[in-house]
Chains A and B, each alone.
Chain A
Amino acid sequence: MRRKILIAIGIILIILGLIFGCIGFYKYYSEKKAGEVYEDLKVEFDMAPLIDVPQMDVEELEIPIDFANLKSQYPDVYAWITIPGTRIDYPIVQHGSDNGYYLNHTVDGRKRVEGAIYTENYNSKDFSDPNTLIYGHNMKNGSMFKGLHKYRDKKYMSEHDEVIIYQEGRILRYKIFAAYVYDSRHIMQSFDFTDENIFRSYLNSVLTKKDMSSNIDTTIDITTDDKIITLSTCNNNDAQRYLVQAVLLSIQE
């Protein structure tokens, strides 16, 4: 009888072990494969890696993204962000009604931990707002917005200070001017950037940051007439965010 109980316990432990092993393998696999859907997307739409994007003449505006086809398959895609020389090279999406959807869904609608690079409906889709917040996960395998953390290094920031956003019929070029740790408050809910005084105060608070974890380029003159983008990812904990901000330099149409 005792022997039978022992065997029963053993079998239960083996079954539990197999279940836990499957869970562990699934989590490992998800972590390693995070972001691959976007590499497949680039292959599907025949996009070459945007390593070095030269400034083009107005007459030669060439958008390397096939937005017509992309949008026909993934209607929420409205822009493409790339930081030359980095792994950040993704479509930007915005869900019609659920701001949290793309936190855990990829552009093709699959539920995945890496989600998508996305904006919320607090921002318009033409980057005309004073501050456009763009979110992306801090994935361990280096995908999505993990690369933003490299901007803690001043030299890296000076060598990779260009952000390009492609949209149908136009190219927006930005220059990165700030990278720092911030608290977890929802920026668009906390600041009304349409109020010039509030926007000015906010910009001043960014440009005067002096702590060790901040990289601020004070050589750039940024005023309330400028448009900025804020790339936001987690700072390895839920109480903080790591922000990289860039100011719009030019729009080619």
Chain B
Amino acid sequence: MKKRVLAGIMMAVMMMASVMSVSAAKSKSDEVTATGTSANTHETDLIFDVDDSVKKVIAEINDGKLTSLSADIQKKLTGKKLVAEVVDLQHKDATATCNHEVELTVTPLTDKCSGVVILHYNKVAGAWEIIEPISVKGDVIVAKFDNLSPVAVFAKVATGGSTGTSPSTVGTSSTWMLWVAVAIVALGTGVVATQKKSR
């Protein structure tokens, strides 16, 4: 019984530690949305309907690593930065077939961005491709897709540590009390567990 209780406390301590590290991590938002008339028929999602191998490449792209892409695509993306992380572009009606000319609002795009391109995973071809938008006005892009699947937006941006948002000068988040509290619980429980049984 005591072993189960201690094992449970240990699990709770580990979970609290992982929750704290996750809560300290930067939250990611959906920065690409279907807008205008496209909002009636299309939507973007952060859940990808692709194979694990493609999901792995998506994670790499979001981390700024393009090495899994073809040399030709890497060359086309030279000098450009990932402006908006990969989202899955979908039709609201999964059975619909239509001309996939889609209007997207990409919130981090500003007038300081140039050479906007879309990195698109072509599900039919089973390969990544670069799509040149039909138009880019402010943060609104119109582009044509042969099929709907993961897309990411790249552009040349002015040198800087931020694209679209002001530097995050939030300072410290004062989590030290939480760490100390978890430490006290873990230490106390550990000491109790190692105590010799009194006869």
Contacts and interface: CB of A to CB of B under 8 A. Distances in A.
Interface residues on A, range: 35 or more
Interface in B1-29: 2-3, 6-7, 9-10, 13-14, 17, 26
A103 B180 contact: no
Contact of A7 (B161, B180, B194): B194
Nearest to A2: B3
A19 to B, nearest CB: 8
A23 B179 contact: yes
B179 A190 contact: no
Interface in A34-56: 34
A236 interface: yes
Interface string B55-78: 000000000000000000000000
A25 interface: yes
B174 A140 contact: yes
B187 A25 contact: no
Contacts of B185: 17
A109 interface: no
Contacts of B164: 185-186, 189
Given A14-B186, A138-B169, A24 B161 contact: no
Interface string A166-201: 000000000000000000111101101000000000
Contacts of B168: 103, 184, 234, 238
Contacts, number: 182
Interface residues on B, range: 35 or more
Listed from nearest, the 6 A-B pairs whose CB atoms lie closest are A100-B161, A10-B193, A24-B179, A13-B190, A17-B187, A17-B186
Interface of A: 2-3, 5-7, 9-21, 23-25, 27-28, 30-31, 34, 97-101, 103, 113-115, 120-122, 133, 135-140, 144-146, 184-187, 189-190, 192, 232-234, 236-238, 241
29 contacts: A6-B194, A7-B193, A9-B7, A12-B10, A13-B189, A13-B190, A14-B190, A14-B194, A16-B14, A18-B187, A24-B176, A24-B177, A24-B180, A27-B172, A28-B176, A30-B172, A31-B174, A97-B159, A98-B161, A100-B160, A100-B162, A133-B166, A145-B169, A185-B165, A186-B163, A192-B111, A232-B166, A234-B171, A237-B170
